[in-house]
Amino acid sequence: MHINKELIKKLRLKSGIGILDCKKALIDSDGNFDKAIVILKKRGYVKAENKIKNSTLRGIIATHVLEQYSCILELNCETDFVEQHANFVQFAQKILYTIHKEKIYHLNLLNDFFKKERLSLIAQFGENIVIRRFSILNGEFLFSYIHRNKIGVLLSSESYNTLVMKKISMHIIANNPDYLKRESIPNAILEREKEIQVDIAMKSGKPEFIAQKIVSGRIEKFIQNICLLEQSCVFDTDIVMKDFLLQNNFKIVQFIRFELGEEI
């Protein structure tokens, strides 16, 4: 059966499904456009369900900030083609807007909310799409920064200074601190690191008093590496971040950092 090319094009624009699938649906529906839509929906859903188990190592980090509310999202896919596609990027922004509007706080609820739309995109692109995680940060003064859609930061502070907040965010992206200050580190984390360093020092065969000094120094270095305020500034290595904040009369309340594919 011959199918008009314009009808195939029209069906593709309407459904977002590939040309060959559109042509086959029109053939199977004897050229009936509406029936072809139904066929594609059914077939697309099945294809989407089959794609759900595929690994998703690509994607984007996106943020949304409005007054005293902010949100950061990781949306995954399989290829760089999809991660750059306007429909995929728009989907991420729609998710962020919906999280805010509907006051969604749990990932399972978010996935239920977007199940049909997500399956539709999976059918359109022919690859898996995963809403992996999101986090919300509230505060009086908020700022977001994204590096190449792969690493994002939300920052809450006690005042607003765009230049200072951008520098802090760029530092967080580069140095990946786990905690804001040393007091924020759980005791369990410090004790575990101390056990590791004591074991290493004792195996070195050095006298106990020297080994203790070595352990103390390494624990301090460990703290400096994982705490934002203790890290050397990426833009001025002669000072640490807490000194930079003092110089600018600026105080950080909290930060959130997402990097694409962390712990996958």
Strands 58-66 and 141-147: unpaired
What is the per-residue pLDDT for 109? 97
Could you tell me if 261 and 57 are in contact, meaning their C-beta atoms sit under 8 angstroms apart? yes
Q: Give the pLDDT band (50/70/90) at residue 214.
A: confident
What is the pLDDT averaged over residues 119-135? Answer: 91
Could you tell me if 233 and 244 are in contact, meaning their C-beta atoms sit under 8 angstroms apart? yes
Which of 118-122, 179-183, 204-208 comes out lowest in average pLDDT? 204-208
For the entire predicted model, the pTM comes to 0.80
Q: How far apart are the first and last CA of the chain?
A: 47
What stretch of H or E contains 152? strand 151-157
Q: Which residues pair with 30 in a beta bridge?
A: none
Q: Tell whether the model's pLDDT for residue 147 goes beyond 70.
A: yes
The CA distance from 167 to 173, in Å, is 10
Q: Which residues pair with 137 in a beta bridge?
A: 70
The CA distance from 131 to 112, in Å, is 11
Name which residue leads in pLDDT, 9 or 70: 70
Could you tell me if 152 and 60 are in contact, meaning their C-beta atoms sit under 8 angstroms apart? no
What stretch of H or E contains 49? helix 33-51
pLDDT digits (tens, 9 = 90+) for 38-64: 777 666 655 555 565 666 789 999 999
Q: Tell whether the model's pLDDT for residue 206 goes beyond 80.
A: no
pLDDT digits (tens, 9 = 90+) for 69-91: 999 999 999 999 999 999 999 99
What is the per-residue pLDDT for 199? 83
Set out the domains of the chain in order of their start, with CATH numbers: 5-51 (1.10.8.10), 58-173+251-259 (3.30.479.20), 182-247 (1.10.286.20)
Q: Tell whether the model's pLDDT for residue 24 goes beyond 80.
A: yes
Measured in whole angstroms, the distance separating CA 31 from the mean position of its chain's CA atoms is 43
Q: How many Cα neighbours within 13 Å face the side chain of 105?
A: 4
Q: Which residues pair with 134 in a beta bridge?
A: 73
> How is 12-41 classified by DSSP, letter by letter?
HHHH---HHHHHHHHHHTTT-HHHHHHHHH
Order of strands across the sheet that contains 130-138: 58-66, 69-77, 130-138
pLDDT digits (tens, 9 = 90+) for 220-252: 999 999 999 999 999 999 999 999 999 999 999
CA distances from 35 to 11, 24, 29, 43, 163 (A): 11, 12, 6, 12, 57
Which of 9-18, 96-105, 114-123, 165-174 comes out lowest in average pLDDT? 9-18
Amino acid of residue 105: Y
Could you tell me if 21 and 12 are in contact, meaning their C-beta atoms sit under 8 angstroms apart? no
Token digits of residue 258: 């997402």
Could you tell me if 149 and 258 are in contact, meaning their C-beta atoms sit under 8 angstroms apart? no
Instruction: Please name the residues in contact with 145: beta carbons below 8 A apart, sequence gap of 6 or more.
Output: 152, 153, 155, 165, 166, 169, 170, 173
What is the pLDDT averaged over residues 194-216? Answer: 82
